[in-house]
Amino acid sequence: MPKPLKYFLIFLAVVCAMVVGYYQFANYAGRKAWAETQAKLKAAGEPVTREEWLSRKVKVPPEENFGAVEPLLGIAEVINGDPDAGEPGAKRQRLSECNPLEKVKGSQVDLPIAVSFRAGGSFDLLGWAEVFSKTDVFEEGEPVPEDPVAVLRKVLEPNQEILEALHKGNTRPHALLEPPIATRFKKEEEWISLALPHFSCILGVAKALRFHWAMATAREDGAEVLKCLVTLMRLAELSNNDDTLIGSMVGASVVAMTDDGVHSFLEEGRYQRVQDLRAIGSVARKLKASMTLAERFRFECLFVEEALDKLGSEHSPYSAINDYREYLYRYGPSGWIDQNKAAFWDAIYYSIIEPEERGLGYAAIDKRCKETVATFNRSGGWINPHTMFARESFGAYTRISFELIYSRTLVTQWITAIELELYYLQNGKYPPSLDELIDENRIELPHDEMGQQAMRYRRTEGGYLLYSIGADGTDDGGKVSLDSTHPERTRFLDEKYKGDWVWEIHRTGSRELEGENP
């Protein structure tokens, strides 16, 4: 054999041996890292497989479940991967059509800018009535009422039966989508596809309810306002209880839609009975309890875990990437996948799940998330195959956590404000401090998660100021920092916002409820 060929074959054999050796070592290291992470998670009581997580899910009788009310029953089901198929698809379509904004799709009219009471605005009833008067809601030649309430009533009338059915079921103790998540995600392909078409129709119904409470407020119909607010809260709870990040983001959107309504309900005294306040307070507390970050991030970890196992297959949710990373993991050592699973679970548990379970608040979550990103960057960032997908998947979670905690802060303010209103009805004035409120009413109040203590509070002439220290972590004394150019566009839900998240009540006269003792 010629020497050059001999040396080449020896070189080739050495290279092959090195490659095989590296694959063996990488696979061993990956299995070891993943086994160690699983052991730590199990010791902490965390589920490490889909089956373990699903086994924790409770089942409730339909008659006790708001999610089993007829308009909502079955909307989470997807038939053969087609979101439009069968009765579930038809129900979703019908609920989506409840959204009044569907009436103005494709029209050239300018829509009113939504301005929160926190930026000094209110629901633009006249503006929306004008918008709808220019759509095909009114047939050609049909007179358009001058009363904006009458215009909205015409727009919302086709959906009244659906909304009434939701109102009727909004006192049921549980709020779980049907079919439940434990049934929907039992099959591997359903888990990986993560078909969640039901959330868009929930948003459609929530927007219809937002218009309904605005109309009821204009009519000074306190009973109808109360029904709308309670049903909105139950829809937010329903979305949160689905334990997905998408569900939580939808729940946060519904909370934002409800915020102005709760404020005007209390400030303008729309309630008719003390029982109304207690009812909405109870629903708000249940909503707050459904807004835990830990469970949806457990779901996210398990989803990413199984998605990584599918890299390179036709079922891979990452197949759309279509770049070198897909091929890198398809033909690289399986240990790389295990390393990414371990890195992702470690990152989420350390940065979000553990501080959430310990009640450490957003400051701890934000700090740990930044530490984790720095660790990923030091280990090679986007080019390290051991952490590439883990880092990419983790990237947006600090922002998502912030948005969800902002939403929880709004609900915390509702709960506190309702208790303050009950105190006012009993004493004819607001308490000098939240400590006195807690002691006299023998209640517990949730803390401000941005400041890890009770909400800041002070009594004012004719009302009170209640606030969270906001994203900057600084107590600005209840200062609202509005956009200097466009105050109506102030983004409170922005990590760069400098100011507090403020809830302020100005009472106009006393409020007495006949025949009831607070």
pLDDT digits (tens, 9 = 90+) for 400-417: 888 888 999 999 999 999
Cα–Cα–Cα angle for 34, 35, 38, rounded to 5 degrees? 85
pTM: 0.91
> Which residues are bridge partners to 160 per DSSP?
none
Mean pLDDT of the chain: 85
Residues 6 or more apart in contact with residue 111 via CB below 8 angstroms: 104, 131
What pLDDT does residue 206 have? 95
Cβ distance 221 to 227 under 8 Å? no
Q: Is the dihedral of CA 62, 65, 66, 72 positive or negative?
A: negative
> Which residues are bridge partners to 168 per DSSP?
none
Instruction: Name which residue leads in pLDDT, 432 or 383.
Output: 432
What pLDDT does residue 226 have? 95
* Residue 515 pLDDT level (bands cut at 50, 70, 90): very low
What pLDDT does residue 396 have? 74
> To the nearest 10°, the Cα dihedral for 73, 75, 80, 84?
130
- H or E segment to which residue 114 belongs: none
For residues 461 and 481, what is the distance between their CA atoms, to the nearest angstrom?
22
Distance of CA 499 to the CA centre of its chain: 23
Cβ distance 34 to 58 under 8 Å? no
Query: Can you spell out the DSSP letters for 456-474?
Result: EEEEETTEEEEEE-TTTT-
Nearest to 455 by CA among 440, 472, 471, 470: 470
Determine phi and psi for 391, rounding to 5 degrees: -65, -45
Least confident of 144-153, 289-298, 325-334, 427-436: 325-334
What pLDDT does residue 466 have? 95
Cα–Cα–Cα angle for 126, 128, 134, rounded to 5 degrees? 105
Instruction: Name which residue leads in pLDDT, 379 or 344.
Output: 344
What pLDDT does residue 318 have? 56
For residues 374 and 387, what is the distance between their CA atoms, to the nearest angstrom?
12
- pLDDT tens, position by position, 340-371: 899 999 999 999 999 999 888 888 898 999 99
Q: Per-residue pLDDT for 292 more than 90?
A: no
